[in-house]
Chain A
Amino acid sequence: MYWGIPDHWFTYLYQYGVGGLFFLGGLILILKTGACDLRIKADRTWFTALIIGYVALATVFAVWIYLAVNTPTLTAAAPELAAPSCASRLLVSPAAVA
């Protein structure tokens, strides 16, 4: 938990929040310097594609995390308790897990 947010959602928010700042910074830089000129149709197309790509990725990852946490699993460990590596997991026999 970080600030009351579960680890799996915190990493997601960090990825698209802090990562989003880099993304936004990149967009501002290319607009301010004129590298991307929105009066040119091709530039408008690609600028839109950049934003759609960001939203699409953020959506896919949100759905992925939601499904990971909210669909049945044979091992009922909560994500906060789940082993960070399977080194300890391998100590449990498959039969015991099942």
Chain B
Amino acid sequence: MRGTPLDYVIVIVYFAGILGFGSFFARYTKSTKDFFFGGQRFAWWLIAASLVATGIGSYSFIKYAQAGFVRGMSSSMTYLNDWLMIPLFMFGWLPIIYFARIRSVPEYFERRFDKRSRLVATILTLGYLIGYIGLNYYLLGIAMRSLLGVPLHVTIPIVAVISAIYITAGGQTAVIFTDLVQGVFLYAAGAILLILGIHHIGGFSAFWEGLDIAHRLPYPKFNEPMDFNFSAIFWGEGVVGTLAFTFINQGFIMRYLAVKSVFEGRKTLTFNTLILMPISAVVVGSAGWIAFSALTHGKFTAPESSKDVFIHIVDVITKPGIFGFVIAALTAALMSTIDTLINACTAIGIFDVYRPYVKPGASDRHYLKASRFVSVTVTLLGLALVPAFNTSQSIFAAHYAFVGMITPPMLVAIFLGVTWKRFTPQAAFWSMLGGAFLIGLSVIWPEIIAPLASTHGIRHVITQIGPGGEPIQIENSFKYFRSVYGLLVTGVLGVLITFFTRPKPKEAIQGLTLSTIQAGKALFKGGKPNEKPGRKVSLALEIDETDGETVALHPDDLERLQAEPGDLLYIADARFYLGGLRSLHVKAGPPSDRRGVARLPHRLVEEGNLKPEKGVRVEKVM
């Protein structure tokens, strides 16, 4: 085993801390809305910070360090090109799912299309998510075996038990708060490695001079090499990958549904895409850049395999204690990805399988219990897949091919469903199946994609010179362009079928398309939205012993909020650092005569976990 006792102490303390911290939030989980969406009450900064850790997997450090070493700073390209696709999420998908109270991606398929489309989407998404949970556990085991020499069957169950306990107890609230801590941990570990690495090389100037121009540039070459070139990454990751991540990633969507309002969600999105993702790109890739620069300066010896570059550079630049910190950060990266996946998978298990097919019409209390059971089941299913990933490389390939086959068809169905009112349920269903089939064909015969890829100068077969000087022909699998091909063929199918089939009535898709978002907003509020910009006000909180459903405010306070009776308000504990942990949404009721005071029924004070002695901040949502 590698590392010193101090390193192991740090890791154990970290595990215990996360377990205790995550489990603490069980007290805030009283309903399925709390369990899956954290009560839909959190501040933008809390969600943005928690997304940092979710977006970085444990293997990201190893993978991106290798890419950074071999390719340079262009390894960060996949993290930095999301903004171009953001308008449709910010003004389209986000308000649609929020205002329509969509709880899962498959649920959108039923409401926008029909039941059978939902069933297809449910099966595909569950298959992808459970496989991904198993894959993440396996990759963590591999990372830990490389770094510490600890076998897979020791590390994986420990991490699985810890994450399962706090997710099952605290649900989304626990996920958000632990991911916040884990994100801080990840950034701290990344910053420490960066500072130590630059110091090791001799300062920032020396680091920068040690990189050749190709390693400094933000983008790789336009169409070579075959497996890492600009055009493939632009289309495969920047266009299709970003749309897939924002439109059909259940974990990502649930995190955005946990914010207190769409306005707040837009803040999260902006801060995350423009500020945090670039920082994350540096955090995961910098070890590779440092290794390359150190190599130039003669301060690092290249490992035999570039896969080991992260471990080697960590060995060179860290000291006892810091190594343990890095290990804890890697585990943090895994746990924060896994917890999101488990919670997302559980949501689909409950909303799309258990509730409609196993036990319809039960109480929310029953579904909360069932959610905890499903959460444990999902963890066990993910664990059960680890041996398969461990024994057969073809499982990797199968999972990758499966994800590649299902992503473009589901994406096209949602995209056309959102942007085109005429898009029909028949078209959604058959284009999903037909698209997946045509993508499957391209896995068997990649040459189908060659005409599309050749528009960017990417060839199907490339001849390289082997070690003995003999020519070797390498076949391009079109890893990235397959998704573009999938998008095109599914899109064409969808459009063609739409012209021959009947669309859903307009009134049945209110709030589910771009052009009906304003109607969706009114449905969400239950009345005409009030868009007048108001201010946030700090008020004292008084308990009203009646059993009403509204908050009573003085007309002067309503004036400052620019709110009227019937408007939807958000009331939160005055302590901003709680990020909305103690808060609730409530409608404004008839005005009261108490200036500077919010009078709230006892039941709602309890529901929002509010403390009268701390005061509240009130803002108008709409």
Contacts and interface: CB of A to CB of B under 8 A. Distances in A.
Nearest to A42: B263
Contact of B239 (A22, A84, A95): A22
Interface string B62-90: 00000001111100000011011111101
Contacts, number: 169
A23 B238 CA distance: 12
Given A2-B222, A83-B214, A34 B517 contact: yes
Contacts of B515: 33-35
Contacts of B302: 90
Interface string A45-70: 01101100110110001001101110
Contacts of A61: 218
A79 B73 CA distance: 14
Given A26-B85, A29-B88, A56-B274, A84 B292 contact: no
Nearest to B92: A35
B212 A35 contact: no
Contact of A14 (B90, B210, B234): B234
B301 to A, nearest CB: 9
Nearest to A21: B84
**Chief secondary structure at chain A's binding surface:** helix
Interface in B485-501: none
A86 B222 contact: no
A41 B141 CA distance: 50
A72 interface: yes
Nearest to B86: A50
A74 B531 contact: no
Contacts of A26: 85-88
A35 B514 contact: yes
B234 A19 contact: yes
Interface residues of B, number: 60
Interface string A1-42: 010000110111011001110110011011001111100111
B585 to A, nearest CB: 17
Nearest to B457: A2
A75 B296 contact: yes
Interface string B227-270: 01011001000110000000000000000000000010010001
Contacts of A56: 274
Given A15-B234, A82-B214, A53 B531 contact: no
Contacts of A83: 212, 214
Given A15-B81, A36-B91, A29 B230 contact: no
B84 A22 contact: yes
B224 A84 contact: yes
B185 interface: no
Given A33-B515, A35-B517, A86-B69, A53 B213 contact: no
Contacts of A78: 213
B91 A64 contact: no
A77 B214 contact: yes
Contacts of A46: 90-91, 266, 270
A7 B297 contact: no
14 contacts: A10-B222, A29-B92, A33-B514, A35-B91, A37-B518, A57-B80, A57-B83, A71-B209, A75-B213, A78-B213, A82-B212, A82-B213, A84-B214, A90-B302
Interface of A: 2, 7-8, 10-12, 14-15, 18-20, 22-23, 26-27, 29-30, 33-37, 40-43, 46-47, 49-50, 53-54, 56-57, 61, 64-65, 67-69, 71-75, 77-79, 82-87, 89-90, 94-95, 97-98
